[in-house]
């Protein structure tokens, strides 16, 4: 299903003409209203009034998350405070958070792209949508909420946490769609079993999951455990929130980027060079319709690649593959680049292994070590020791053969690894 045929199915030539018009407008606007951008453009010799093609965007400098913190709280706003109707902020684990402002039109744009996302996931006005993303300064909850209301669905603002109540709501209110993190979906599956409920008997048909990287192996686990279709959604607070891109139910292969609102590039994370379409690199976004706080060539640190082939759903927007990880979350173990999602793919592919794990990185002398704690099914864990040892050796060999890193596997009993109501924490790095 398509929410907005006028834009989502635009021929590429018409789409690129619209993108260029909007790009020129936003470059001129930030140059005239944001001292940070005027200074940065002048230093780079980038003239916003000389842009003639979309490729000219590469002449302009990147924007980094540190730039948002350096201009805290509102130094990148292009409108006066009385036009800002909403403020969100990303978590600040060290120092100040990054603050993002929205005009009324920005909120409407956000609702629009989320309506497209939920429609593409197969949801509509006859559905009941439970939003189990957190509400508040985090953008997930309210983004999904307003998108759900825009398509006419009945929205339950459950927020995160209180898992037993989440199960009750899912069952008693005949929920047909849920939005949450994929790791929380796994947690809810376990909670339902503890309550003696088979979540597959509930009327729910689809889940829209995001806010953390997850693999296709985890998707299959969720789909089988819930008896639903699991759809991947992508977004980040600095750009707009959830709804930057989302998979369609028809293909479930790559997330359609709302390119009439967001220009995307893929760059080499080390050199900053723009890569050919189809190569894996760091996603860079330019917001071309944001009013309160447009961002030019914002480096996300998220690693993915673009899919330019036409999709059977009829949308003409390019797609992005599942995010494989963040360039700043990458672990380097004895010279080998390792992402938690790679480890996850190896683990979950083995029968009896559960999708709950923790990577513990340490250093003994001058050598890095990697230990992987992973849960196995109860019957398997209490089986004979020899079988557990064989599985540990098998997983260690798989990780070595597929990823090229040596890891020690420790199989643990079910529910012994911490669960998270929001984004899962997968790594303990004792080297830091």
| pLDDT digits 0-9 by tens, 364-403 | 877 789 999 999 987 776 777 788 889 999 999 999 998 8
Distance of alpha carbon 386 from alpha carbon 113, whole angstroms: 53
Do 134 and 274 share a domain, yes or no?
yes
* pLDDT confidence of residue 91: 62
Do 357 and 314 share a domain, yes or no?
no
Domain with 106, as residue range(s), is 1-326
What's the CATH code of the domain at 418? 3.30.300.30
Tell me what the mean pLDDT of segment 2-31 comes to.
98
Do 21 and 77 share a domain, yes or no?
yes
Do 307 and 357 share a domain, yes or no?
no
Contacts of 303 (CB under 8 A, 6+ apart): 269, 280, 281, 282, 283, 323, 324, 325, 326, 327, 339
Domain termination site, one of 297, 326, 355: 326
Tell me what the mean pLDDT of segment 187-193 comes to.
94
Mean pLDDT of the chain: 93
* pLDDT confidence of residue 352: 87
pLDDT tens digits along 302-341: 999 999 999 999 999 999 999 987 776 778 787 777 888 8
Would you say residue 422 has pLDDT above 80? no
* pLDDT confidence of residue 325: 79
Asked which of 46-50, 110-114, 275-279, 416-420 is least confident by mean pLDDT, the reply is: 416-420
Decide if 331 contacts 325 (C-beta within 8 A).
Answer: no
* pLDDT confidence of residue 412: 92
* pLDDT confidence of residue 242: 96
pLDDT tens digits along 357-367: 999 999 887 77
Residues paired with 272 in a beta bridge: none
pLDDT tens digits along 41-79: 999 999 999 999 999 999 999 999 999 989 999 999 999
Do 207 and 338 share a domain, yes or no?
no
Decide if 356 contacts 344 (C-beta within 8 A).
Answer: no
What's the CATH code of the domain at 158? 3.40.50.12780
Do 365 and 289 share a domain, yes or no?
no
Do 270 and 382 share a domain, yes or no?
no
Do 204 and 229 share a domain, yes or no?
yes
* Alpha-carbon torsion (370, 376, 382, 383), positive or negative: negative
Tell me what the mean pLDDT of segment 32-41 comes to.
98
Domain termination site, one of 272, 307, 326: 326
Domain termination site, one of 303, 326, 349: 326
Would you say residue 94 has pLDDT above 50? no
Do 78 and 116 share a domain, yes or no?
yes
Do 366 and 258 share a domain, yes or no?
no
Question: Can you tell me which residue has the tokens 């359609």?
Answer: 256
Do 125 and 171 share a domain, yes or no?
yes
* pLDDT confidence of residue 180: 95
* pLDDT confidence of residue 93: 45
* pLDDT confidence of residue 307: 98
Decide if 170 contacts 144 (C-beta within 8 A).
Answer: no
pTM across the whole model = 0.85
Do 244 and 345 share a domain, yes or no?
no
Tell me what the mean pLDDT of segment 352-356 comes to.
89
Domain count across the chain: 2
Would you say residue 233 has pLDDT above 50? yes
């Amino acid at each position: 299903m398509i929410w907005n045929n006028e834009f989502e199915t635009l021929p590429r030539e018409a789409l690129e003409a619209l993108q260029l018009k909007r790009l020129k407008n936003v470059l001129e606007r930030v140059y005239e209203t944001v001292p940070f951008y005027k200074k940065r453009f002048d230093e780079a010799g980038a003239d916003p009034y000389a842009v003639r093609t979309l490729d000219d965007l590469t002449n302009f400098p990147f924007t980094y998350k540190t730039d948002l913190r350096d201009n805290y709280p509102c130094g990148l706003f292009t409108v006066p405070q009385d036009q800002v109707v909403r403020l969100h902020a990303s978590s600040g684990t060290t120092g100040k958070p990054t603050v993002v402002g929205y005009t009324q039109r920005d909120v409407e744009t956000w609702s629009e792209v989320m309506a497209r996302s939920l429609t593409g996931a197969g949801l509509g006005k006859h559905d009941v949508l439970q939003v189990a993303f957190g509400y508040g300064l985090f953008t997930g909850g309210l983004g999904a909420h307003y998108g759900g209301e825009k398509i006419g669905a009945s929205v339950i603002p459950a927020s995160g946490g209180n898992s037993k109540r989440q199960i009750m709501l899912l069952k008693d209110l005949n929920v047909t769609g849920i939005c949450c993190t994929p790791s929380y979906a796994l947690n809810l599956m376990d909670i339902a079993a503890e309550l003696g409920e088979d979540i597959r008997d509930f009327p729910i048909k689809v889940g829209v999951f995001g806010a953390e990287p997850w693999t296709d192996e985890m998707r299959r686990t969720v789909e089988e455990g819930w008896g639903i279709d699991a759809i991947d959604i992508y977004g980040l607070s600095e750009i707009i929130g959830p709804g930057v891109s989302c998979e369609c139910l028809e293909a479930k292969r790559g997330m359609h980027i709302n390119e009439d609102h967001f220009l995307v590039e893929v760059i080499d994370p080390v050199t900053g060079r723009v890569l050919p379409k189809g190569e894996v690199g760091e996603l860079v976004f330019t917001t071309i319709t944001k009013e309160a706080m447009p961002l030019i060539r914002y480096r996300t640190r998220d690693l993915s690649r673009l899919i330019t082939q036409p999709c059977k759903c009829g949308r003409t927007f390019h797609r992005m593959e599942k995010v494989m990880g963040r360039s700043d979350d990458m672990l380097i173990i004895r010279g080998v680049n390792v992402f938690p999602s790679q480890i996850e793919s190896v683990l979950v592919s083995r029968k009896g292994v559960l999708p709950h794990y923790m990577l513990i990185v340490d250093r003994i002398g001058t050598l890095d070590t990697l230990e992987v704690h992973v849960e196995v099914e109860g019957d398997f864990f209490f089986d004979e020791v020899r079988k557990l040892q064989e599985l540990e050796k098998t997983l260690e060999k798989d990780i070595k053969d597929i990823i090229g890193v040596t890891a020690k596997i420790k199989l643990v009993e079910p529910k012994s690894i911490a669960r998270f109501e929001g984004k899962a924490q997968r790594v303990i790095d004792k080297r830091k």
